[in-house]
């Protein structure tokens, strides 16, 4: 799990061009949106593309998406629980 979280941090930095951040500076439990990294709606779409392209996972409903994209840890849990990570 911790390895998957570390990998996700690298991938998020890369796909969202967060070039001023390092994986260590991202709190895996902090909210990704508004607070925490302060990501926006375009970033959310980019994370959805990441989950589909890299892990072959599609989000179901918008409510489900909010929970899955809450933090790096919730994203990692979603990947692990779907056994495709």
Partner 1 sequence: MMVDPFVISDYCIIRQNRVVKNGNTLHESDETTVAGFLTAIYRHFGINYPKFHKMDNLCKLGFLAAEVLLNHSNLKERYHGDKVGLILANAASSIDTDRNHQLSISNRLDYFPSPSVFVYTLANIVIGEICIRHAFLGESTFFIEKSFDPGRMHHYVYQLLEEEAIQCCITGWVELDSDRYEAVLYLVQKSDIHPDGIAIFEPAKMNEIYLQRT
> Applying CB under 8 A, which residues contact partner 1?
15-20, 42-43, 45-46, 49, 52-53
8 Å CB contact between 4 and 79: yes
Nearer Cβ to partner 1 (8/51): 51
Three-state secondary-structure class, residue 67:
helix
Nearer Cβ to partner 1 (38/82): 38
Minimum distance of partner 1 from residue 1's CB (angstroms): 26
Judge residue 41's burial from the number of C-beta atoms within 10 Å of its C-beta, 0-12 exposed, 13-18 middle, 19 or more buried.
exposed
Nearer Cβ to partner 1 (40/64): 40
């Amino acid at each position: 799990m911790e390895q998957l979280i570390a990998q996700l941090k690298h991938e998020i930095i890369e796909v969202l061009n967060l070039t001023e951040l390092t994986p260590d500076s991202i709190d895996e439990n902090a909210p990704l949106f508004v607070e925490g990294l302060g990501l926006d709606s375009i970033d959310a779409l980019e994370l959805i593309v990441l989950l589909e392209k890299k892990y072959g996972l599609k989000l179901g409903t918008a409510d489900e998406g909010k929970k899955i994209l809450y933090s790096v840890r919730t994203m990692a849990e979603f990947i692990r629980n779907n056994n495709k990570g």
